[in-house]
């Protein structure tokens, strides 16, 4: 009997929402390999003899591959979630499984993506050694590790519905806080290790210990998964009872709208199809950062410090993403401050980081990496949450990837056409290239290398803040209402039966008697 119960619990864990979320966290923690391009881009530039504009073009196509996922979104609309690309499948599925906590979920998921750069760096140093002097093996690690993790969790990524209630929402929020604390501990550890590795020369064994701690921190959230599923397992009634109640409810309580609404005429149906839905209903269908390695080189930073800067940006990117997810949800629910307002403030704060780089204040690149990394991380999940709130979740797979198009477009215009050309022009003026040999890389030294380009980026960021402020003004009435009421009504009407069999009835078992009394009149 105990063995059967253990097997049933193990099956529930593997089929449950929480293990799906944990698998998504691990997939996303390996999905940010593009953020460490600056670590090995110098080797690409010197080995292949590229100019800075050519290297930035390579970086642009990296951004295209990472962000132009409209085809992936369209595939996800007609296939199971696990069939889609890793980023789209994991993120969109999590948002649909936790619709009322989408800000928190997006912050955590994108936070793990932000941490992935620092995680990859530690694993690379542990697996291949060399103190980071040879970055070519890092490309191999980027090639096989994300694919292996995605294949391992392939079967867990799917839609799992669950009923909603205030008590269940509070418990859900506490679980997310647990994930947050674990990820914060991992970020703090990575920050300390990065500083120590900059000050001291680590041995191969010490790098291995550092990577082992990272592995342990990535496994720690599984304890939260077991805790949540154990609580649900103890409260879940026999399957027959759980299945009978929603069926009886659905059979005996017809929808008032269906009973009272007369059949629509052909003309009314045409007009209704052409009319756009209200905000928040389901519609039918980067900031650019130049290479931090070249910025550091132009300002006289050594290669070891440049690797530290890349990891610092990764960590602060993570902190921006998770803090924005939790903070924007709290500001919206408690004080009615909409996400577009918060994004406007974040964009204005980013301008300070761009100006620090533009004017080349001594030692300012560390502060600029903190500001730019944090603000870029904070803006990204909030923009994705705004898309889901304004346009709905029905076609979020496609809408999410349409929103991501802005990143490579901005990267090409500001990074390749503006920053890359200005860098090469200044490098040629300094006579940094050996024309006769044709092999020496084009290198620019001094503040002028990136001053004009970052002033342009700062101006574009101010313009983006103005546009976001206009969006905040246009959506003020929408955010003043209860934008998540529809999800609670749908869950109450449908009983949350769609899922894997463990989702139905999960949250109802932890409802208080008072909440049941409040819900009863609405279904009579």
Instruction: Tell me, yes or no, whether 176 lies in a domain.
Output: yes
Residue 280 domain flag:
no
Helices (H), 331-447: 339-359, 364-391, 396-404, 406-410, 421-429
Could you tell me if residue 374 is inside a domain?
yes
Residue 137 forms part of a structural domain: yes
What letter would DSSP give residue 202? -
Q: Quick check: is 372 in a domain?
A: yes
CA-to-CA distance for 121 and 144, rounded, in angstroms?
A: 15
For residue 258, being part of any structural domain is answered with no
What pLDDT does residue 491 have?
A: 58
Q: How many domains does the chain have?
A: 1
| Residue 281 counted as domain residue | no
DSSP per-residue string spanning 112-165: HHHHHHHHHHHHHHHHH-GGGS--HHHHHHHHHHHHHHHHHTGGG-S-------
- Residue 474 confidence (pLDDT): 92
Tell me which DSSP letter residue 522 carries. Answer: G
pLDDT in tens, 273-299: 444 444 444 433 333 344 555 665 665
The pLDDT of residue 301: 56
CA atoms within 13 A on the CB side of 95: 30
Q: Is residue 240 part of a domain?
A: yes
- What are the respective helix, strand and coil percentages of the chain, to the nearest 5? 80, 0, 20
We report the CATH number of the domain holding residue 246 as 1.20.1250
Structure tokens, 477: 């009435």
Is residue 164 within 8 Å of residue 507, measured between CB atoms? yes
Determine the pLDDT at residue 173. Answer: 85
Gap between the Cα atoms of 267 and 264, Å rounded? 8
Would you state the pLDDT for residue 237?
A: 56
State which residues of the chain have pLDDT below 50: 238, 240-261, 269-290, 432-437, 439, 496-524
Q: Which residues span the domain enclosing 372?
A: 2-251+286-523
Torsion (CA) 196, 197, 202, 208 in degrees, nearest 10: 100
Angle at 154 between CA 313 and CA 172, to 5 degrees: 65
Residue 515: alpha-carbon gap to chain centroid: 34
């Amino acid at each position: 009997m105990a063995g059967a119960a253990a097997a049933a619990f193990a099956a529930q864990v593997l089929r449950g929402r929480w293990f799906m979320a944990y698998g998504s966290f691990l997939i996303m923690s390996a999905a940010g390999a593009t953020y460490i391009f600056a670590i090995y881009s110098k080797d690409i530039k010197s080995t292949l003899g590229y100019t800075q504009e050519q290297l930035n073009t390579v970086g642009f196509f990296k951004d295209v591959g990472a962000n132009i996922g409209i085809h992936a979104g369209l595939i996800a609309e007609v296939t199971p979630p696990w069939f889609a690309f890793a980023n789209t499948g994991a993120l969109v599925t999590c948002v649909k499984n936790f619709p009322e906590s989408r800000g928190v979920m997006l912050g955590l998921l994108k936070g793990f993506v932000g941490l992935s750069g620092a995680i990859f760096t530690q694993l690379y140093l542990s697996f291949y050694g060399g103190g980071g002097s040879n970055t070519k093996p890092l490309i191999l690690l980027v090639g096989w590790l994300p694919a292996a993790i995605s294949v391992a969790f392939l079967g867990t990524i799917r839609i799992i519905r669950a009923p909603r209630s205030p008590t269940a929402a509070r418990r859900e929020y506490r679980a997310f806080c647990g994930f947050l604390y674990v990820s914060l501990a991992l970020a703090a550890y990575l920050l300390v290790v990065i500083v120590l590795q900059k000050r001291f020369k680590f041995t191969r064994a010490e790098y291995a210990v550092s990577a082992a701690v990272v592995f342990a921190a990535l496994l720690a959230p599984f304890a939260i998964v077991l805790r949540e599923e154990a609580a649900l397992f103890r409260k879940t009634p026999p399957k027959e009872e759980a299945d009978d109640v929603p069926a009886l409810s659905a059979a005996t309580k017809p929808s008032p709208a269906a009973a009272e609404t007369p059949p629509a005429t052909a003309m009314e149906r045409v007009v209704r199809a052409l009319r756009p839905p209200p905000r928040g209903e389901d519609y039918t269908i980067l900031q650019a950062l130049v290479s931090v390695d070249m910025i550091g080189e132009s300002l006289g930073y050594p290669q070891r410090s440049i690797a530290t800067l890349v990891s610092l940006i990764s960590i602060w990117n993570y902190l921006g993403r998770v803090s924005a997810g939790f903070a924007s949800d709290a500001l919206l629910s408690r004080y009615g401050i909409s996400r577009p307002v918060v994004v406007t403030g974040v964009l204005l704060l980013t301008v300070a980081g761009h100006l620090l780089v533009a004017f080349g204040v001594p030692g300012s690149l560390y502060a600029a990496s903190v500001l730019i990394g944090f603000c870029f991380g904070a803006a990204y999940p909030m923009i994705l949450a705004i898309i889901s709130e304004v346009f709905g979740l029905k076609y979020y797979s496609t809408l999410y990837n349409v929103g991501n198009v802005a990143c490579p477009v901005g990267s090409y215009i500001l990074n390749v056409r503006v920053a890359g050309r200005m860098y090469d022009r200044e490098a040629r003026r300094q006579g940094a290239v050996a024309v006769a040999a044709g092999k020496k890389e084009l290198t620019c030294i001094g503040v002028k290398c990136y001053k004009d380009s970052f002033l342009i980026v700062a101006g574009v960021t101010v313009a983006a803040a103005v546009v976001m402020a206009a969006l905040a003004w246009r959506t003020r009435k929408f955010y003043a209402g209860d934008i998540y009421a529809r999800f609670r009504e749908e869950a109450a009407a449908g009983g949350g039966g769609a899922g894997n069999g463990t989702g139905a009835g999960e949250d109802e078992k932890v409802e208080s008697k008072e909440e049941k009394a409040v819900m009863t009149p609405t279904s009579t």
